[in-house]
């Protein structure tokens, strides 16, 4: 069977020049066909995520087809390509260590399920939403960074794919798109403890109650996939005490994208409920003075601009002792 170079038309210039012209023309046709195919995918595939994957597949296949076509034209036999690669392989591997490692990371991403576009991850020291994955790097729309909390910073960060092979990869939206979060509510000693617990449990149920059924179903799927112990995803309240106040810790699971909004709403509900309740008071770090029975206390208000330097009140007399 004649090789591809022998099938070239006779009007082409002889030798390598003619083969090069055919290689360029064929590569251009393949590139044009791949581009037209990418543009038509929007009509065939309505889902955005599937359309993105299809475009990436067309890019890879088009590149592979172009390389094979050019190699088949310029070399008499495809086995020559293997010989050439074998001769230059050691030098290329040494000079391109980082790109090759990134390519290996891309293969790990493609088949290992570390993350995909749309996931919120932390990789290479960057936290954000994955907006693009190429054979050499991952593009992330950063969350946090110069901005406070978990809002978008507006910065687009590109991380080499080699990072997935060197560092841990945190996926906030993978198999379990919920995060456990807590708030700590300090309550004064002497407050109604049972009333406080009831208020906090009611506030957290009203805030995150809609997440519980979905979180429970997702957790059951996760246990079928991995070896995990049973865990309660329903919100709960725990209390600890020290010499300053009672600390009520409210624990709950919330969607990873809405964690800050859920915390804000929960705090507003908690504060409103405590303000409206009798016998429950928020503790503060302010100092209290306890006056012994039978002691007399005189309060003198200092006028602004006086020799004492400023305004305020002072307590005199009595056998006062600092309390909490």
Per-residue pLDDT, 149: 62
Per-residue pLDDT, 206: 92
Return the higher-pLDDT residue of 225 and 138.
Answer: 138
Instruction: Give CA–CA dist 161/106, Å, rounded.
Output: 6
Tell whether pTM > 0.85. Answer: no
Per-residue pLDDT, 113: 83
- Dihedral sign for Cα atoms in the order 195, 259, 110, 40: positive
Return the higher-pLDDT residue of 287 and 322.
Answer: 287
* Residue 82: C-alpha distances to residues 15, 91, 276 (Å): 22, 15, 80
What the block records as the tokens of 4 is 């591809």
Return the higher-pLDDT residue of 21 and 283.
Answer: 283
Per-residue pLDDT, 9: 55
| Reported confidence tier of residue 306, pLDDT bands at 50, 70, 90 | very low
What the block records as the tokens of 256 is 């990873």
Per-residue pLDDT, 313: 45
Q: Count CB atoms within 10 A of the CB of residue 59.
A: 16
Per-residue pLDDT, 240: 94
**22-25 own/partner pairs: CB under 8 Å, 24+ apart:** 22/73, 23/69, 23/70, 23/73, 23/74
- pLDDT at position 121 over 50: yes
Return the higher-pLDDT residue of 250 and 59.
Answer: 250
**DSSP state letters, 19-74:** HHHHHHHHHHHHHHHHHHHHHHHHHH---HHHHHHHHHHHHHHHHHHHHHHHHHHH
Residue 218 C-alpha from the chain's centroid: 18
- Strand stretches in the chain, DSSP E: 120-123, 126-133, 137-143, 152-160, 170-171, 178-187, 236-241, 246-255, 289-290, 298-302, 312-316, 321-322
291 secondary structure, DSSP code: P
């Amino acid at each position: 069977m004649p090789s591809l170079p022998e099938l070239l038309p006779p009007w082409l210039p002889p030798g390598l020049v003619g083969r090069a012209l055919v290689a360029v023309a064929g590569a251009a046709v393949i590139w044009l066909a791949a581009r037209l195919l990418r543009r038509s995918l929007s009509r065939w595939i309505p889902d955005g995520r599937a359309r993105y994957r299809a475009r990436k597949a067309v890019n890879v296949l088009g590149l592979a087809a172009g390389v094979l076509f050019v190699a088949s034209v310029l070399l008499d036999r495809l086995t020559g390509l293997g010989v050439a690669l074998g001769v230059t392989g050691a030098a290329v591997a040494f000079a391109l260590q980082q790109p090759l490692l990134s390519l290996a990371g891309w293969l790990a991403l493609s088949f290992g399920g570390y993350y995909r576009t749309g996931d919120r991850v932390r990789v290479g020291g960057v936290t954000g939403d994955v907006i693009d994955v190429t054979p050499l790097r991952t593009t992330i729309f950063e969350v946090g960074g110069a901005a406070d909390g978990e809002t978008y910073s507006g910065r687009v960060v590109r991380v080499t794919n080699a990072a997935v092979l060197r560092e841990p990869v945190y996926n906030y939206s993978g198999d379990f798109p919920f995060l456990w979060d807590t708030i700590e509510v300090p309550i004064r000693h002497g407050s109604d403890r049972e009333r406080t617990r009831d208020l906090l449990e009611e506030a957290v149920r009203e805030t995150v109650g809609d997440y519980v059924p979905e979180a429970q179903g997702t957790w059951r799927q996760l246990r079928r996939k991995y070896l995990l112990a049973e865990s309660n995803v329903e919100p709960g309240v725990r209390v600890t005490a020290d010499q300053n106040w009672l600390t009520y810790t409210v624990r709950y699971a919330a969607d990873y994208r809405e964690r800050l909004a859920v915390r804000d709403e929960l705090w507003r509900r908690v504060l409103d409920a405590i303000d409206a309740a009798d016998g429950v008071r928020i503790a503060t770090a302010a100092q209290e003075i306890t006056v012994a029975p039978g002691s007399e206390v005189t309060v003198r208000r200092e006028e602004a601009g006086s020799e004492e330097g400023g305004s305020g009140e002072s307590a005199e007399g009595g056998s006062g002792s600092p309390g909490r």
